[in-house]
Chain A
Amino acid sequence: MKRLMQGNQAVAHGAWAAGVRVAAGYPGTPSTEILEHLAGMPGVYTEWSPNEKIALDVAIGAAYAGQRAMAVMKHVGLNVAADSFFYAALTGMQAGLVVVVADDPGMYSSQGEQDSRRYAKFARVPCLEPSDSQECLDMMQLAFQLSEDYDVPVMVRLVTRISHSHSVAVAVPDRLEQGSEPPPFPINTSKYVMVPANARHRHPVLEATVSRLEAAANQLEVNQHIAGSCRVGIVTSGVAYQYVREVLPDASYFKVGMCYPLPMEALRRFAASVERLVVVEELDPVLEEALQQAGIACEGKSLFPLVGELSPELVRAGLVRAGLLPAKPQPAMQAIPDLPQRPPVLCPGCPHRGIFTILHKLKVIVNGDIGCYTLGYTEPLAALHTMGCMGASIGVAHGVLKAGVAEQNVAVIGDSTFMHSGMPALLNVVYNRTPLLTIILDNRTTAMTGHQDNPGSGKTLQGLPAHELDFKSLVRAMGIDEVYTIDPYKLEETESILRHCLALDEPSVVIARHGCALLPENRRNYRPLKVDAEKCIACGICRRISCPALALSSELYPKTGRAKTRIDPLLCAGCEICAQVCPTHAILFRRQLDEQGGL
Chain B
Amino acid sequence: MGDLTRNFYVVGVGGQGTLLAADVIATLGMLQGLDVKKSEIHGMAQRGGSVSSQVRWGSQVFSPVFVAGEADCVIALEQLEALRSLHWLKPGGIALISDYRINPVAVTMGRAQYPSNDAVSGYLADVHSISVPAMQLAIQAGESRTNNVVMLGVLAAQYGLNDALIRQALELSVPERFLEANLRALQAGRAYYQERGQDAH
Contact = CB atoms under 8 A, between A and B. Distances in A.
Interface of A: 2, 4, 29-30, 108-109, 132, 160-161, 164-168, 239, 242-243, 245-246, 311-313, 316, 331-336, 339-347, 372, 375, 380, 448-450, 518, 540, 543-544, 546, 548, 550-552, 563, 570
Contact of A160 (B38, B41, B112): B41
Residue in A29, A245, A343 whose Cβ sees the most chain B Cβ within 10 Å: A343
Interface of B: 1, 13-14, 23, 26-27, 30, 35-44, 46-50, 61-69, 80-81, 83-84, 86-87, 89-91, 103-110, 112-115, 123, 144
A311 B49 contact: no
B114 to A, nearest CB: 7
Contacts of A243: 62-63
B166 to A, nearest CB: 16
Contact of B109 (A166, A335, A518, A543): A543
B63 A336 contact: no
Contacts of B105: 345, 546, 548
Contacts of A448: 43
B104 to A, nearest CB: 4
A372 B14 CA distance: 15
A313 B68 CA distance: 8
A341 B106 contact: yes
Contacts of A375: 47
Contact of A345 (B48, B84, B107): B48
Contacts of A518: 46
8 closest A-B pairs by CB:
A331-B69, A109-B43, A344-B47, A340-B112, A29-B43, A165-B64, A344-B49, A246-B62
Residue in B38, B67, B104, B112 whose Cβ sees the most chain A Cβ within 10 Å: B67
From DSSP, what is the main secondary structure of chain A's interface residues?
loop
B91 A336 contact: no
A242 B23 CA distance: 21
A548 B38 contact: no
Contacts of A340: 80, 104, 106-107, 112-114
Contacts of B113: 340
Contact of B27 (A4, A333, A546): A4
Contacts, number: 147
A164 B19 CA distance: 11
B47 A331 contact: no
A344 B44 contact: yes
A544 B111 CA distance: 12
A166 B47 contact: no
A167 B37 contact: yes
Nearest to A348: B48
Given A245-B62, A448-B43, 5 more contacts: A2-B30, A161-B64, A246-B63, A316-B67, A450-B46
A543 to B, nearest CB: 6
12 contacts: A108-B43, A108-B44, A242-B64, A243-B63, A245-B63, A333-B89, A334-B87, A336-B87, A342-B80, A344-B48, A518-B46, A543-B108
A339 B144 contact: no
B52 to A, nearest CB: 11
Contact of A164 (B39, B63, B83, B107): B39
A347 B47 contact: yes
A4 B38 contact: yes
Nearest to B44: A344
Contact of A168 (B1, B30, B80): B30
A4 B173 CA distance: 11
Nearest to A565: B108
Contacts of B13: 342
B125 to A, nearest CB: 12
B36 A167 contact: yes
Given A165-B38, A168-B36, A344-B48, A336 B30 contact: no
